[in-house]
């Protein structure tokens, strides 16, 4: 009888856990998790892209520019997602606690790891050598924090500029809350901020090609581009019911995404022809991709296209959620993997079809390795926490 009761009790517990997970999935907007994964893949693909200025053949590689033109919306999508959840009811104190716990502490651990094992990562020394010759550039880390400048760190930390941008957004949140409300005054203030910020980007883009008679103009440059994306994210959140499960939005967004990025490709071609002798920045870009008026449209089109799908399959939702919860860790880790692989060896690839194969294989391999590393770290962390809880519980029982 006792065995039957125990089995019945276990079945009831399993049923309750299953129901609880189903409730969590139903409350969670899986489309946003899908966008988060696409954004993460886009960031990795951007870093995988071979140099537009092909140093092996000493010429501009237009096919690489075309590839890169369609892969630059990763970070803007992350900013838009931040704006989408800007008014989710969390207090400012909780936001800072979450930022410190989930963003800043993992980033600091990553920085320290790359400081100690930098020579191993770039294939110059062994792992053991790095441990025996323990070295941390504390002054560089402090300067990077104080000046919000990753150039004080080593090359494997170049992608951490995003962290400083995110912190900038967190600092702005109390002000953003004032304009992200469904009131006449807030809507007016928010849209004025967006219009002025967008006009500033348009003027900057124009001035890359044309020298104005009165010199350079920067309109209301006090509003960072990151904040514009956040405001757009809130605007999309306010109209999410019109986007979700809307086939017309999906089709228009997909056409718009390809059209705007082909236009960006053509504009970039013109810009590079004008500046390739003096403005050599290799793998990064020429026109500050995320800070152009064109990228605003590209990011919005891609977001709307992905968000227009309603994911109802529970198994698929669980997979998307599982991967989505690891995207920040993947963002941190992937840059080390790329540095370890040493992408320069692939710069000799010349044909477009081989470049696409390189991108596709490199993206899949880097993503899978990153997920495996992040999952392993999370598993070890959970085991450690469980062990501490187990010890604490046993100590309490002994005391009782």
pLDDT digits (tens, 9 = 90+) for 34-74: 999 999 999 999 999 888 877 666 677 888 888 888 988 99
- Cα(35)–Cα(74) distance, rounded to whole angstroms? 9
Q: What is the pLDDT of residue 34?
A: 95
The whole-angstrom separation of Cα 181 and Cα 235 is 10
- Answer whether 253's CB lies under 8 Å from 305's CB: yes
| 172 lies in some domain | no
Asked, for residue 292, whether it belongs to a domain, the answer is yes
Helices (H), 239-326: 240-243, 247-275, 293-307, 314-324
Paired strand residues for 59: 54
247 falls within a domain: yes
Q: Assess if residue 5 is contained within a domain.
A: no
pLDDT at 57: 66
Give 10-residue mean pLDDT values along the chain (400 residues). 45 43 59 95 91 73 86 93 92 94 94 92 88 87 90 90 93 94 91 89 83 72 85 94 92 96 88 62 53 91 94 91 94 93 82 90 94 94 87 75
Q: What angle do CA 178, 181, 185 make, to 5 degrees?
A: 75
The DSSP-derived string for 85-147 is: TTTSS--HHHHHHHHIIIIIHHHHHHHHHHHHSHHHHTTSS-HHHHHHT----HHHHHHHHHH
Where residue 148 falls (left for φ over 0; alpha for ψ -120 to 50; beta otherwise) is left
Boundaries of domain holding 250: 33-86+231-400
Single out the residue of 278, 206, 277 nearest to residue 59, CA to CA. 277
- Residue 306 maps to a domain: yes
| Whole-angstrom distance, CA of residue 275 vs CA of residue 279 | 5
pLDDT digits (tens, 9 = 90+) for 318-339: 999 999 999 999 999 999 999 9
Number of domains in the chain: 1
Query: Is residue 341 assigned to a domain?
Result: yes
What's the CA gap between 400 and 114, in Å, rounded? 46
Containing H/E element for 41?
A: helix 30-48
Biggest distance spanned by C-alpha atoms of the chain? 92
pLDDT for the residue numbered 221: 66
CA neighbours closer than 13 Å in the CB half-sphere of residue 115: 17
Residue 110 lies in a domain: no
Is there a domain that residue 135 lies in?
A: no
What is the distance between the alpha carbons of residues 321 and 323, in angstroms, rounded to a whole number? 6
pTM (2 d.p.):
0.86
- Which residues have C-beta within 8 Å of that of residue 67, sequence separation ≥ 6? 49, 355, 356, 359
């Amino acid at each position: 009888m006792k065995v039957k009761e125990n089995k019945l009790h276990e079945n009831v517990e399993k049923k309750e856990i299953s129901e609880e997970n189903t409730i969590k999935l139903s409350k969670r907007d899986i489309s946003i998790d899908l966008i988060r994964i696409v954004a993460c893949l886009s960031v990795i693909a951007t870093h995988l892209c071979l140099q537009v200025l092909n140093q092996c053949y000493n010429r501009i590689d237009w096919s690489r520019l075309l590839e890169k033109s369609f892969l630059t919306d990763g970070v803007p999508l992350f900013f838009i997602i931040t704006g989408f959840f800007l008014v989710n009811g969390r207090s400012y104190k909780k936001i800072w606690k979450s930022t410190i716990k989930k963003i800043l502490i993992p980033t600091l651990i990553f920085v320290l790891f790359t400081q100690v094992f930098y020579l191993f990562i770039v294939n110059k020394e062994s792992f053991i050598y790095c441990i025996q010759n323990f070295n941390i550039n504390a002054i560089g880390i402090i300067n990077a924090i104080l000046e919000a400048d990753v150039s004080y760190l080593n090359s494997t930390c170049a992608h951490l500029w995003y962290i400083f941008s995110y912190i900038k957004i967190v600092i702005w949140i109390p002000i953003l809350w004032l304009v992200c409300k469904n009131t006449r005054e807030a809507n007016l203030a928010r849209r004025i901020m967006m219009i002025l910020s967008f006009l500033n980007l348009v003027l900057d883009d124009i001035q890359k090609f044309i020298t104005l008679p009165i010199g350079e103009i920067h309109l209301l440059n006090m509003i960072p581009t990151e904040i514009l994306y956040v405001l757009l994210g809130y605007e999309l959140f306010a109209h999410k019911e019109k986007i979700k499960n809307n086939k017309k939005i999906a089709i228009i967004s997909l056409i718009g995404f390809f059209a705007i990025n082909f236009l960006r490709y053509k504009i970039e071609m013109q810009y590079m022809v004008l500046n390739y002798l003096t403005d050599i920045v290799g793998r990064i870009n020429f026109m500050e991709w995320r800070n152009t008026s064109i990228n605003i449209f590209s990011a919005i089109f891609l977001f709307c296209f992905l968000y227009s799908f309603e994911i109802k399959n529970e198994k698929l939702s669980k997979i998307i959620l599982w991967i989505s919860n690891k995207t920040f860790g993947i963002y941190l880790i992937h840059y080390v993997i790329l540095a370890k692989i040493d992408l320069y060896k692939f710069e000799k690839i010349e044909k477009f079809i081989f470049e696409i194969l390189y991108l596709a294989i490199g993206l899949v391999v880097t993503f899978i390795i990153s997920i495996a590393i992040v999952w392993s770290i999370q598993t070890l962390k959970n085991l450690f926490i469980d062990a501490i809880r187990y010890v604490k519980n046993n100590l309490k029982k002994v005391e009782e």
